[in-house]
Amino acid sequence: MNIEHGESTIIAKENIIHITLKGAFNEYGAVDVSKKTMEIIRNLNQKRFMLLVNLLNLDGATPEAFNISNEFNEWLNSQNMVAKAIVITSQAIKAIDQQWVPSKVVQNVEYFDSEDDALRWLKKQF
């Protein structure tokens, strides 16, 4: 039985896709987030977009979930993403994410403590 761990909300508002993650994620939860986000991006029909990822309530993830995240980010690198803003205050989760998701290195990505700051930065990128 595949049981998803972690809660997610994914909403597209104009050219910004808002992703909020809560709890602890396993690979099934990560696959769910990836698939839902990929569907939204595909529906943009090659239009440029940005991501706002809120990880303030993320408790962590399994190594398998980080592997799924890296695969998703590899795919994302071939899309028309302009920028990604990640909202996170946990330095431990940020460090693990940076180590386990090396595909982000080529992205225009910045980290923020608040969504307001992240949105301001994103709007300057487009």
What is the DSSP secondary-structure string of 3-40?
---SEEEEEEETTEEEEEEEEEE-HHHHHHHHHHHHHH
- Would you tell me how many other CB atoms lie within 10 Å of the CB of residue 1? 3
Per residue in 19-64, pLDDT (tens digit) is: 999 999 999 999 999 999 999 999 999 999 999 999 999 999 999 9
State yes or no: pLDDT of 111 exceeds 70: yes
- Give 126's DSSP letter: -
- Give the residue, 86 or 97, on which the prediction is more confident: 86
State yes or no: pLDDT of 3 exceeds 90: no
State yes or no: pLDDT of 4 exceeds 90: no
Angstrom distance (rounded) from CA 23 to CA 63 = 15
Q: Give the predicted TM-score (pTM) of the model.
A: 0.95
Please report the pLDDT score of residue 1 as a whole number. 63
Please report the pLDDT score of residue 126 as a whole number. 87
Write the DSSP assignment of 88-124 as a string of letters. Answer: ---HHHHHHHHHH-GGGGGS-EEEESSHHHHHHHHHH
> Would you state the structure tokens that stand for residue 5, as one six-digit string?
């761990």
Residue 78: partners with Cβ closer than 8 Å, 6 or more residues away:
none
Q: What's the whole-number mean pLDDT along residues 72-81?
A: 98
> Would you state the structure tokens that stand for residue 40, as one six-digit string?
């939204």
- Give the residue, 95 or 2, on which the prediction is more confident: 95
